[in-house]
Homo-oligomer: A and B are copies of this chain.
Amino acid sequence: MHSPITRYLESVLDDCREIDGGAIATGNAQLERADPDSFAVALATVSGSVYAAGDCDTEFSIQSISKALAYALAIEDNGLERMLEATDVEPSGDSFNEISLESSTGRPSNPLINAGALAVHSMIRGDSAQERADRVKDLHSRCAGRQLNTDMAVYEAEIESDDRNTAIAHLLKSVGVLGAEPADVVDGYARQCSVDVNCVDLATIASVLANGGVDPATEEQLIDGAVNRHVLSVMATCGMYDASGSWIATVGIPAKSGIAGAIIGVLPGQVGVAVLSPKLNEHGNSVRGVAVFERLSRDLELHMMHVAPSGASAIREVTGEDATTVQLQGDLRFAGAESVLATVAKGVESGGRITLDLNHVRTMDDVARRLLEDAVVGLREDGHAVDIDDPHGVSAGTPRS
């Protein structure tokens, strides 16, 4: 059976191919040689499925998309507090080619603009530009599930036109937020940006971010959960340069674009998405890439602010006369656990034995677990008999498979 999802992705490409406009980025001689018509989309879920359509074998340099994982790595190397001294996390309101340093401190506005990314790269652990770039490449390789390679032609072309980055690096050094020498940082950052990927690689990488930093394929924690959450937050507010606000409003998927024409998007708990189409709009984002994301968001309801239909409840059934059985279901987080508590509190009035049936609960987070424990303790203190029916052990933190 040909997957309906693949068929759907192909139809989206067909529709969006009609959109024209924008231009391939200038400045890097290698990037200028890209085929303007190459067009691809890939989608990787948190359960490990990958769907692709279009030119998914086409390789291109990762460019600014590398800023997200490089930032994650720098936080793991230095701690978040130290990194927030090096770069703020505010949208700059400036266009993609502005320098955007804070007037008071000289600190870059955020880690997803060039100034911030240079500061970030400089703080990655490593004795040389090569070593720092290799560590970033390795993290991308692990997330993508295959060894990625540096495109030396792109790197060399990058170095040919690195005056703006060199300027920024010296400015950063002059205000004390550069962890290495400017020339070295510019070199390492050029290497970091010159790693070749295809759309499936990027979607797979995005699916790790969507999955709380855990590789869906191997269940290995590749990025610390808190770091992963922080990086996604910054992608949500700063990932699409000065179009970030309207991107979140219309697409609603934390994202990062690159000058080669790719965009990755991460919908937490659901999917990673990647699109490639080299022609860019005035914000520096891929024209067709933006269109594809708008379609996916609308058609698949992949919007961060999309809410489950109202009226649904974590409480499945409440039965019994003198005994009360509360059947819980789904993913229990704060709001779900709270509704259990509220129900149980009412059940107390009628007296009798209370059974919490966790057979149909898929997952519980720590908060839900603590709230349930509180409820049980409270009920028992009030003299009630409380049973917990949890054959799969979800209340002990074992996720159901």
Contact A310 B171 (CB under 8 A): no
**Max chain B Cβ within 10 angstroms of own Cβ: one of A94, A170, A367:** A170
A49 to B313, CA, bound (A): 13
Which chain A residues (260-315) contact chain B, with CB distance < 8 Å? 267-271, 299-314
Q: Name the CB-closest residue of B to A169.
A: B167
Contact A269 B308 (CB under 8 A): yes
Which chain A residues (311-338) contact chain B, with CB distance < 8 Å? 311-314, 316, 329-331, 333-335, 338
Which chain A residues (83-102) contact chain B, with CB distance < 8 Å? 84, 88-94
**Total interface residues on A, using CB and 8 Å?**
104
Which chain A residues (163-217) contact chain B, with CB distance < 8 Å? 163-164, 166-171, 173-174, 182, 210-212, 214, 216
What's the least CB distance linking A374 to chain B, in Å?
A: 4
A345 to B1, CA, bound (A): 7
Given contacts A171-B163, A400-B316, A232 and B308 within 8 Å (CB-CB): no
**Is A391 part of the binding interface, using a Cβ–Cβ cutoff of 8 Å?**
no
**Is A219 part of the binding interface, using a Cβ–Cβ cutoff of 8 Å?**
yes
> How many copies of the polypeptide does the oligomer hold?
4
**Max chain B Cβ within 10 angstroms of own Cβ: one of A110, A299, A305:** A305
Which chain A residues (1-17) contact chain B, with CB distance < 8 Å? 1, 3-5
Choose the segment among A62-70, A123-131, A238-246 that binds chain B (4+ C-beta atoms closer than 8 Å): A238-246
Q: Name the CB-closest residue of B to A215.
A: B310
Contact A244 B305 (CB under 8 A): no
A219 to B379, CA, bound (A): 30
A221 to B105, CA, bound (A): 47
Identify 16 new A-B residue pairs, CB closer than 8 A, beyond the known A4-B378, A163-B182, A329-B329.
A90-B93, A93-B94, A163-B173, A166-B166, A167-B167, A211-B310, A228-B307, A237-B237, A269-B308, A308-B363, A308-B365, A312-B331, A313-B401, A329-B362, A330-B330, A330-B331
Could you list 29 A-B pairs, sorted by A, with CB under 8 Å?
A: A1-B378, A4-B378, A5-B341, A45-B338, A88-B245, A164-B171, A166-B182, A167-B170, A211-B307, A214-B310, A229-B252, A233-B304, A233-B305, A237-B249, A269-B335, A301-B334, A302-B334, A306-B365, A308-B365, A309-B363, A309-B365, A312-B331, A312-B362, A314-B362, A316-B362, A316-B400, A329-B330, A330-B330, A360-B360
